[in-house]
Amino acid sequence: MHNTPAWVSEAELLAQVSQLKVNRLVLGGTLYNSGGEVVGNFGEPPQLSLAQANQTATSHYEGSRYDVAWFANELGRDYTLILRHDASFIRGELLAYVGKVVGVMVIISAFVTLVTMLVIEPVVIVPILQLRRDLILAGEVASQEGEIPQFHCSSSRRRDELGEVMMAFEQMFYRVHQAIAQRQQAQNALKKLNDSLEARVAERTAQLAQANAEIVALNERLKAENQYLLEIDQMKTDFLSTVSHELRTPLTSVLGFAKLIEKKLDEVIFPVVKTEDRKTKRAVEQVGGNIGIIISEGERLTALINDVLDIAKMEAGKVEWKMTPLQVEEVIEHAIAATSALFQHKGLVLKQDLAAGLPKIIGDRDRLIQVLINLISNAVKFTPQGSVTCKLRKTDNQIIISVIDTGIGIAAENRSKVFDKFRQLGDTLTDRPTGTGLGLPICQQIVEHHGGQIWVESELGQGSNFSFTLPIASGFSKNFSTVDLNILLQQLQVPDNSSSESSQKPQKTILVVDDDAPIRTLLTQELEAQGYQILQAKDGLEAIKQAKQTKPDLIVMDVMMPQMNGFDAAAVLKNDPQTLAIPIIILSVVEDQQRGYRLGVDRYLNKPINTEVLLQDIDLSLSQGTSKKEVLVVDEDASNVRL
C-alpha cells in the first residue's frame, strides 16, 4: 500500500485494504477519509480511534492486540488507515528466533572454550602453577634456613610475555626476601642493642642507687654535723654569756673598790700626807696614777665584756630594741660629743658635712649612737694625722651616714674580713690588739636590724669610708615632734614635798641584797659614806624576811641569787601590802629591764656599778617618799603606751 499511485480510486483503495486480511499478522482495519469518516473496514475493528491517533499516539497496545495508525501522507492520499495486529504471533516468532540465536552462541562458546583450554593450559596455566609451587617451596626453605633462598623457575627462561612475568616474579621474590632478611638483621641488631641498653641501665641504676644511698648517708651525717655545730655555736654563745656575766661580778668589785680607794686617797689620805719630801711626793703620784690605771683598764675590760655580751644577745635574739622616731642629726651630735676627747688627744680635725632638713627615721637611739661611736673611734684609732669627716645625706627613701678618715686604709684582701667576728686586721705578733674584734660585727647586726646596710670603701694608705643606710620612716613629717622620755622621767622624779613622814627622817635605811659578799661590802661602804644606814641580805628569801621586819626605806637588789632570785623576791614584795610602797632598785648583770619594770621595780641598773647614777637614783627614789605613784598614759599608739 505504500506504493499505491495517487490516481487510484476509492473503490480500488478499499480493494487493496481488503487484501490485508490474508496476512496472519493483520486481524482487521478501518479506513478514514480526510473528513474523519469511515470509508470502509474489515475483520476485527481496532480499538484505536482516529481522534486518539491524532491527539496521543499512532499505536495502541491491549493484551496481545496491537493497533497502528497509518496517516494520509504515508498512503499518498488524504486517508488514514488503522490496523489491528496479532502481537502473540509476533512474540512467538521472536522467541523462536532468539532461541535459535542463543543455541548457536552456546555451541560457539563451548567450542571456543575447549580450543582455548587446549591451547592456553600448557602455555599459561601450567607455568603459573609451576611458579606457585616454586614460590611455596622457596618460602618454606627460607623459613627453615633463615637466609635468602635460591629461586629457580624454568618458565623464566621463556622469551614471551609470560617469561617476562616470571622474571618479574623472580626479581620480586629476591627483593622481598632480601628486605625480610635485612629487617630480620635489623631486628636482631635492635634486640642486641636493647639487651645491651637494659644491661647498662641496670648497671647504671645500681650505681645510682648506691650513689643515692651514699648521698642519703652523707646528708644524714651533714645533718648530724650541722646539728652538732649548732649546738657548739649555742654552747659558745651560752659560754660567752655566762663567762661575761661571771666576769662582770668581780669586775664590779674591782672597779668599785678602785674608785672608792681613789676617792678616799684624794679626799682623806693625800691631803694629810706631807709632800715636801720628794720620795713621798713621788709615791703619792705613783699611787694615784696606779689607781687611775686600774680604773681605766677596768673600764676598758668592761667595754670588752659588753661587746661580747652584745654579740651573744644579738645571736640569741634577746636584745631589747627601743624603736622610736628620731632625728639622725641628734644621734650624730651625741656620738661626736662622746668621742670629742679622742680628737683632742690625737690632735685630729673633726669635719661635719650634714644635710639639713632630713626626715625622721625609726630606730633605737642608744644602739645607733653605739654604731657611730664605734665607727668614729675606729677612724681616730687608725688615723695618725689628718681628719675624720662625718657625712649625712639623703637618697631616695633612705639616709646614708658615712665616717670618712684619712688614715692608713685597708688592704683589698682584708676589706671583706672587717665585719667578721673576732677578726682584727694586722699582724697579731707585732700589732697589739686593742679590742675583741666585735665592734664592726655588732654595728652590722644593729644596722641590719634597722633594715639598712653597712659597707666599707678603702684603699691602703688612702684612708677608709665606712657608710651605712637607714630607711626613712613613713608617716612622719619633718615637723613631727616627740616627747623626750628622759626629760619626762626627770620631771616625774621631782622630789615630792608632800611625801610621807619617812622622807623627813634624818637617816634613811637601805637594804642591800646580793649573794656576792664583796659587792655587799662595796655598796655598804659607798652608801654609808653618803650617810645611809645599811642592812644586808644574801638572797631573796632573807631579803623578804628583813623587809617585813625592818621596813627599810629602799632596797638595792641583785637578780642572780640562790634560794630565790631577785625577780621572784621583787614580785613577792610588790604584792605584799606591808612592803608594796618600798622602792626597789635592781642592780644586776642580767639585762632584762622589761621584766623588772613589769614586776613593779622603780629602777633597773646594770653592773659594773656606775656609782654616780646609783646614788642619783637612790636619792630620787627616797625623795619621792614611796614607790607607789600612778601615771596616766594616753596615746593612740599601743607601742608608745608600753614604752
Q: What is the DSSP track for 516-535? A: -HHHHHHHHHHHHHTT-EEE
Averaging pLDDT over each range in 16-30, 62-76, 262-276, 281-295, which range is the top one?
281-295
CA atoms of 240 and 243, how far apart (whole Å)? 5
Residue spans of alpha helices (H) in 265-318: 270-272, 278-316
Q: Give CATH for domain 509-624.
A: 3.40.50.2300
CA atoms of 518 and 520, how far apart (whole Å)? 5
Q: pLDDT higher for 471 or 248?
A: 471
Per-residue pLDDT tens digits for 483-535: 445 545 544 554 444 444 444 445 889 999 998 888 888 889 889 888 999 99
Question: CB-based contacts of 527: which residues, under 8 Å, 6+ apart?
Answer: 510, 512, 534, 618
Q: How confident is the model at residue 301 (pLDDT cuts 50, 70, 90)?
A: confident
Q: How confident is the model at residue 428 (pLDDT cuts 50, 70, 90)?
A: very low
CA atoms of 156 and 162, how far apart (whole Å)? 8
Pick the range with the lowest mean pLDDT from 116-120, 331-335, 493-497, 553-557: 493-497
* In the predicted structure, residue 357 carries a pLDDT above the cut 70: yes
Per-residue pLDDT tens digits for 478-496: 444 444 455 455 445 544 4
Residue 391, number of CB atoms within 10 A of its CB: 17
Q: How confident is the model at residue 589 (pLDDT cuts 50, 70, 90)?
A: confident
Q: Tell me the pLDDT of the chain averaged across its residues.
A: 78
Q: The C-alpha cell of 150 is what?
A: 635460591
pLDDT at residue number 461: 86
For 288-423, strand residue ranges (E) read: 323-326, 349-354, 361-364, 387-395, 398-405
Per-residue pLDDT tens digits for 147-195: 555 655 555 566 666 667 777 767 777 777 777 778 888 888 898 889 8
Q: Is 0.85 surpassed by the pTM of this model?
A: no
Q: Which residues pair with 603 in a beta bridge?
A: 585
* In the predicted structure, residue 430 carries a pLDDT above the cut 70: no
| Contact present, 298 and 255 (Cβ < 8 Å) | yes
Q: How confident is the model at residue 3 (pLDDT cuts 50, 70, 90)?
A: very low
Q: pLDDT higher for 258 or 642?
A: 258
CATH of 321-471, one of 3.40.50.300, 3.40.50.920, 3.40.50.10160, 3.30.565.10: 3.30.565.10
Pick the range with the lowest mean pLDDT from 150-159, 361-370, 395-404, 575-584: 150-159
3-state secondary structure 442-481: HHHHHHHHCCCCEEEEECCCCCEEEEEEEEECCCCCCCCC
Q: How confident is the model at residue 544 (pLDDT cuts 50, 70, 90)?
A: very high
Pick the range with the lowest mean pLDDT from 76-90, 129-143, 402-416, 544-558: 129-143
* In the predicted structure, residue 81 carries a pLDDT above the cut 90: no
Helices 517-529, 161-264: crossing angle, 10 deg rounding: 50
Q: pLDDT higher for 54 or 532?
A: 532
Closest CA to 72 of 31, 16, 15, 11: 31
Q: pLDDT higher for 128 or 470?
A: 470
Percent over 70 (pLDDT), the chain: 76
* In the predicted structure, residue 361 carries a pLDDT above the cut 80: yes
Tell how far CA 482 is from the center of its chain. Answer: 41
Strand bridging mode 584-588 / 603-606: parallel
Q: The C-alpha cell of 470 is what?
A: 637607714
CA atoms of 128 and 166, how far apart (whole Å)? 8
* In the predicted structure, residue 423 carries a pLDDT above the cut 70: no
pLDDT at residue number 73: 57
